[in-house]
Amino acid sequence: MLTQFPADLRCAWEFRHESWFADDVYQALRAANAALCVADTEEKHTPLVATADFGYMRLRDEGYQKEDLEQWAGTVKELGKDWGDAFIFFKHEESGIGPKLAQQFAPLFA
């Protein structure tokens, strides 16, 4: 399926079943330069695996504190040391705090 996309199209894949978190899937994503979406929720987060030359993260926990954001910034810096770009989204439709969290997060990379 990954071969169906144009080579210059960036795609990220978010898997929600644990059976997808396997070395053969990571290898296929790497071969296509497709990102594994790291999604963090109140319950858990997907494996921290870089599979592309860019990163894609969805940070969805509504309880992020300063220390949590600092930890995620460290994760982005370590996991993404070979990334050219990182796309990081705070998704909080119910409470609307995503922009506030993004404003707190961005300076951690200055």
pLDDT at 32: 92
The CATH number that applies at residue 39 is 3.20.20.410
Give pLDDT tens digits for 55-87.
999 998 878 999 999 999 999 999 999 999 999
Residue 17 belongs to domain spanning: 10-109
Domain count of the chain? 1
* pLDDT, mean of residues 87-104: 86
In a domain, 64, yes or no: yes
In a domain, 3, yes or no: no
- DSSP letters spanning 3-40: GGS-TT---EE---SGGG-SHHHHHHHHHTT-EEPEEE
CA–CA gap between residue 50 and residue 53 (Å, rounded)? 8
Whether pLDDT at 93 is above 70: no
pTM of the model: 0.88
In a domain, 90, yes or no: yes
